């Protein structure tokens, strides 16, 4: 017996949730419907558990969003103070000191220039004229 499987890539969690709630509504209104391996109460409990998980995920997403907003507000301040501190350390310790080398910003490496293909060698002999494959027709004389 083939088992029907739902492709999870096509359904968002909220589509799955809506489908489950629609099934629950229809099943609740038609309690005569039965499945061999699951009861209405089991399906309702599983759906409720899924709802709770989605709610937890949503609340943690909100918390994470708030943390990201706070991080984004602090980032320019920290970056500015780090830059000032690096400049001060460069003046205090010197640009070649090991202390400054530890705090020096790491600049992205510039890519090496692409190697050029060598030019074709020119021979000392003049180029040979092209040989015609077929005789060239001459126009008739008048």
pLDDT, average across residues 132-138: 63
From residue 42, how far is each of 18, 65, 123 by CA, in Å? Answer: 17, 35, 87
Rounded distance, CA 139 to CA 69, Å? 85
Q: Is the pLDDT of residue 73 over 80?
A: yes
The pLDDT mean for the chain works out to: 84
* Integer Cα distance of 54 and 80 in angstroms: 39
Q: What is the pLDDT of residue 137?
A: 61
Domain boundaries, the chain: 10-103
Q: What CA–CA distance (Å, rounded) separates 64 from 33?
A: 42
- Report the pLDDT value the prediction gives residue 17, as an integer from 0 to 100: 93
2 in Cβ contact with 39 (< 8 Å): no
Has this prediction a pTM greater than 0.85? no
* Token output for 2: 């083939």
Give the pLDDT confidence score for residue 84 in this predicted structure: 94
What's the pLDDT score for residue 136? 60
pLDDT digits (tens, 9 = 90+) for 3-32: 555 555 556 888 999 999 999 999 999 989
Average the pLDDT over each of 71-75, 95-99, 138-142 and give the range with the smallest value. 138-142
Q: Say how far residue 85 (Cα) sits from the centre of its chain.
A: 34
């Amino acid at each position: 017996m083939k088992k029907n499987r739902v492709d999870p890539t096509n359904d968002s969690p909220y589509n799955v949730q809506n489908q489950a709630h629609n099934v629950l509504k229809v099943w609740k209104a038609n309690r005569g419907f039965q499945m061999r391996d699951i009861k209405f109460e089991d399906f309702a409990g599983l759906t409720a558990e899924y709802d709770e998980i989605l709610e937890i995920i949503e609340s943690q997403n909100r918390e994470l969003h708030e943390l990201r907003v706070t991080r984004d507000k602090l980032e320019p301040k920290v970056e500015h103070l780090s830059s000032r501190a690096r400049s001060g350390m460069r003046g205090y310790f010197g640009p070649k000191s090991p202390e400054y080398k530890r705090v020096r910003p790491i600049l992205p490496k510039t890519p090496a220039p692409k190697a050029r293909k060598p030019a074709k060698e020119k021979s000392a002999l003049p180029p040979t004229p092209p040989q015609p494959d077929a005789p060239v027709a001459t126009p008739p004389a008048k």
